[in-house]
Amino acid sequence: MARLRHTVEVVPVPRTWFEHTVAIGWDALDQRFSGPGTNYASADGTLQAAVDAWHRHTDTEGRIKVTDEHGTSTCRVLLRSAAAPRTLDLEGGTGTGRRMSAFTGRLHADFERWWAAAARAGGRPAVEGRMRHTVGLARFTVTPAPAPGGRWRIEVVVRLRGRHVFRPFAALALFFARTPVRRQFAAGMTTFAERWNKQMPNLLAMPQERLRELIAKELR
């Protein structure tokens, strides 16, 4: 098993802004989805969506299917709740029909745990997930903590291991490639933090009506 760990500091997002933005996004989609049983398909057929639950104060749940030249991807989304987000669950997979190119994954985000950990160091991971492939399995956690200057310190831990008959080969590959893999992982995290810190202040300062217009445009 290989363990990757990296920590970055990012501009924090106020809870009120986050919850208000989620509500704006839900309202924008509410104009398209009338409730459970609603189906949507793009004109070119590459995107399909089905609504299983649509309640602002309880559950919002649906399934998304995307098809392109690389294959088909599916995702189930469950948000509790749009009015006061508590948890988000994502589960899905992708592939071209060939076993070695397919993978499945799931993610669970606990927002109450996030706000608690972001305010006081020593909190439990607020985001947990896994990605499963024929060759290997990756599990990851994301834990926020307060940082100097009011920022968030975000720790991401990823654990990698092989599966089935591929386990010894994956272990050998990870042993010899551990340094470049850790370097790329750290570089990816650093790049993400740099982009976040560059873009987020502009979004946080954006007037509400402009933010509403931007979200509506992105969700068309």
pLDDT of residue 175: 45
pLDDT of residue 9: 97
Tokens 């309202």 correspond to 27
Q: Hey, what CATH topology would domain 2-218 get?
A: Alpha-D-Glucose-1,6-Bisphosphate; Chain A, domain 4 (3.30.530)
* Cα angle 28, 214, 29; round to 5: 15
DSSP state of 125: P
Average pLDDT over residues 181-196: 91
3-state secondary structure 100-123: HHCEEEEEEEEHHHHHHHHHCCCC
Indicate if the pLDDT at residue 129 is higher than 50.
yes
Structure tokens given for 160: 């990698």
Higher pLDDT, 185 or 79: 79
pLDDT of residue 199: 96
Question: Where is 78: in which H helix or E strand?
Answer: strand 71-80
Q: Where are the domains of the chain?
A: 2-218
Contact assessment for residue 60 and residue 33, using Cβ atoms and an 8 Å cutoff: no
Q: How many CB atoms lie within 10 A of CB 137?
A: 17
Q: How many whole angstroms separate alpha carbon 109 and alpha carbon 15?
A: 15
Average pLDDT over residues 93-122: 84
pLDDT digits (tens, 9 = 90+) for 140-163: 999 999 999 999 999 999 988 765
